[in-house]
Amino acid sequence: MIYSLYRQIGIIARPETPEIAPIITQLVHFFHANQLKVFIDENCIQEQQIESHILNEIILKPKSELAQHCDLIVILGGDGTFLSAAREVTPYRVPLVGINLGHLGFLVQVNQQDMLNEMARILVGKYLSVECILLEGRVFRDDVEVFRDVALNDVMLSRGLAGKMIEFEVFINQQFVYSQRSDGLIVSTPTGSTAYALAAGGPILQSGLNAFTLVPVCPQSMTNRPIVIADNNQIEILVTKAVDARVHYDGQTYFDVQTMDKLILQRYCYPLRVINPIHYQYYQTLRQKLHWGEQLI
């Protein structure tokens, strides 16, 4: 048995993940062998064949309540599962560690094959951690707030199904920056700079930087380029023409906006603590995931 820095462990997984039950069973056995209390998102095992004695050893809670009972949460899945969990638990300041059951895995750094060994190291404090900033986005209509959400990766204003360009004006700290006609604008955190913002031509921001990047999506003018600003700035986007436009949060929630709606973006009041294996290297991850350094010929 190890002496764990954490006493109450949460587990969150994507419900439709194939063959997740044996992985959950392994983790539950491991945590209980070390006298740790285990809480599991009730949605992730509804469709799974979990052994009855395992169900007697765990406490089921809704994902939205899990962080209230845990001091560490383990995410089983890919980056999408991690993003969904992060947006739920960040207000409770509970650290997250991700076990990669997906494909790309920028946010989930523990390999499934070495899962128990890595968790043993993490429980005794042998890990690297980083605090990631989040974006809070509020939509105002006639000066009344009509929607609010947070994002770990990015908030995006985009055209909708009509396929027509949208028009908007951007202000930073109430100072006019530019007007734009484009398919949209991505406002990204450093965590999200390797996601959609990168695909749209934005820069990579090193993890842990206190900055945001604003990346136009297919702007009509060739003079529109990505810019990077400090995270203590407030960003205001005034939608001047929205035939069919939406605001997306991490690609997981959205809100339909109308002409003359305002989107106010600023750093969320709480950061997210992400725990990585002790051998984690940021630039090595970029090489592996983005295939940097491959032979050119």
CA angle, 208 as apex, 177 and 212 as ends, to 5°?
A: 10
159 known ligand binder: no
114 known ligand binder: no
126 known ligand binder: no
Per the annotation, the verdict on 114 as an active-site residue is no
244 known ligand binder: no
Catalytic position from the list 41, 79, 250, 261: 79
261 known ligand binder: no
Compute the distance between CA of residue 97 and CA of residue 125 in angstroms, rounded to an integer. Answer: 13
Partners of 127 in the beta sheet? 277
CA angle, 76 as apex, 1 and 30 as ends, to 5°?
A: 15
250 known ligand binder: no
Partners of 110 in the beta sheet? 99
The type of residue at 31 is F
Tokens of 292: 């940097």
Q: How many CB atoms lie within 10 A of CB 22?
A: 12
The type of residue at 73 is I
252 known ligand binder: yes
Compute the distance between CA of residue 250 and CA of residue 131 in angstroms, rounded to an integer. Answer: 18
| Residues with a known catalytic role | 79
Q: Give the residue numbers of the binding site for NAD(+).
A: 79-80, 153-154, 164, 181, 183, 252
Q: Give the residue numbers of the binding site.
A: 79-80, 153-154, 164, 181, 183, 252
